Structure 1
Amino acid sequence: MRHANGLSIPQSLSDACDPARMALLIYDMQVGIVRQIPGGDKVVQTCVRLRDAARIGGFRVFYTRHMSLPIAASGVSQLRTAMSWQRVDDPTALRSSFPQGSPQYQLVPDLAPGPDEVVFDKITMSAFAATPLDFALRDCHIDTFAVAGIAMEVGIEPTVRHSLDLGYLPVVVADACGAGHPSAAERSHATLEFAGGTLTADTAALVDLMSSRSD
């Protein structure tokens, strides 16, 4: 930890891993997303390990869940994105991929939130865009978060980059972030490393640190 102008500046994972300042963010671990990702079950297992360690250590846990608006209620950007993802040229051929309440929209059963944990629905890639997450964290004096989930190259990188502009210290748990396109995920990791301001951790190291905070 470094100190300047009355501020404490975390430099390492150990500095950052404090339940008074760090939360765990589990990103889009939904039934319909996990089953699309090679090794999705392994990502579930690592997220469960992190979640359980966070509970033991007294860290707040937040989840995101991607939601598709009904096609008739979708605007231009939502339609354009859906056309790209569903590979159709005609917007009338679109379907709502993750409508609220659908089986594919639900979080996987192993990551069902506890009574003191929160799920934020979103229609954006960044978990901080148009959700209460930023306010919820700041209101708890949280300025750091560890992120795990799916997918690194689609939603986690935008979330991390957005958080940097909001003044957070993000901790990417690399082996707990699944990807649909490994080469794209590698580029995401490289981009974040080049830009700076982000810490990288592995599940085992972070689990040890979070669990030890209960001592």
Structure 2
Amino acid sequence: MTSDLSENYKKAYSNRVGFGQRPALVLIDFAHAYYDPESELYAGVDAALASALRIREAAHAAGVPVVLTEVTYQEGGINGGRFFEKAKPLHNFIKGRKTAAFAEGLVPRNDEIIVSKQYPSAFFGTSLASTLTAGGIDSVILTGLTTSGCVRASCVDSMSHGFRTIVVADACGDRHPAPHEANLFDMNAKYADVVSEADVLAYLSRLKGGARA
């Protein structure tokens, strides 16, 4: 069945858009909540963060802008709307709670853009799209948590804003492999190119060397 599904999708959805000329790297919601065993959001996604951090270093070395997103709410979630009402674990992102802080190992740098958001997409209700456009960015490399939630929402909005969109499978994570794999499959079919860490590192290395993909 899986083989049949893959072959069926290839008939219509086998296209690749490729890397752009001026990318930005986005690390989506790598928060302590996903690494705290006491949190409802605990996901055990250490490998995804390790991958994202390696890509982040390569991006800086290549002169590629880096964006970190965080989910943050006022006490009581008054600015969270229906999302906060529906998804109970979002209380972990109330400002000041340890679970809302960036995950251990991810310390923002002065030259990185921090986007605070209240909804799944890094683009919805934020200045991210206009900031990237003003900087001449034509493509977005996405990493982060979770694959089925904020990564997917950001992927769809990135494409909708006209950016070539790349999702790094190794640098994304979810609380269960099924939604992780299903959403990578679907994003690759319709909205983005899903690639490996090795693919992205090779691309960034070419940018560092002065070449353009």
User: Fold match, TM over 0.5?
Assistant: yes
Q: Quick one: distance in 2 between partners of 1:104 and 1:72?
A: 15
Q: Quick one: distance in 1 between partners of 2:32 and 2:147?
A: 17
Partner SS for 1:110: coil
Structure 2: stretches of 5+ with no match in the other structure: 1-15, 37-41
Superposed, which structure 2 residues align to 1:1-215 within 5 Å?
11-13=17-19, 16=20, 18=21, 21-35=22-36, 36-38=42-44, 40-71=45-76, 73-74=78-79, 76-82=81-87, 85-86=88-89, 96-195=91-190, 197-215=191-209
Partner deviation per Cα, 1:40-75 (whole Å, 9 max, x = no partner): 221121011000000111100001001133226246
Q: Which amino acid in the other structure matches residue 142 of structure 1?
A: I
Q: Which amino acid in the other structure matches residue 199 of structure 1?
A: D
CA-based RMSD of the aligned residues comes to 2.0
Q: Which amino acid in the other structure matches residue 58 of structure 2?
A: A
Tell me, yes or no, if the aligned pair for 1:65 and 1:119 is still in contact at 8 Å.
yes
Structure 1: stretches of 5+ with no match in the other structure: 1-9, 87-94
Go from structure 1 to structure 2 and tell me whether the alpha carbon gap of 1:54 and 1:72 turns closer, same or farther (over 3 Å shift): closer
Q: How many residues align?
A: 189
Partner deviation per Cα, 1:132-160 (whole Å, 9 max, x = no partner): 11111011011211011111001101111
Q: Quick one: distance in 2 between partners of 1:114 and 1:30?
A: 16
Q: Which amino acid in the other structure matches residue 43 of structure 2?
A: I
- Identity rate of aligned residues, in percent? 23
TM-score of the aligned structures, taking structure 1 as reference length: 0.80
| Structure 1 residue runs of 4 or more that deviate by more than 4 Å after TM superposition | none
Q: Which amino acid in the other structure matches residue 32 of structure 1?
A: A
Partner deviation per Cα, 1:111-134 (whole Å, 9 max, x = no partner): 212111011111100110011111
Tell me, yes or no, if the aligned pair for 1:68 and 1:97 is still in contact at 8 Å.
no
What is the CA-CA distance between 1:78 and the residue it aligns to? 3.6
Name which of structure 1's ranges 71-80 and 153-162 shifts more when overlaid on structure 2.
Answer: 71-80
Partner SS for 2:91: coil
Partner deviation per Cα, 1:64-104 (whole Å, 9 max, x = no partner): 0011332262465144323xx35xxxxxxxx8321113211
Q: Quick one: distance in 1 between partners of 2:34 and 2:114?
A: 16
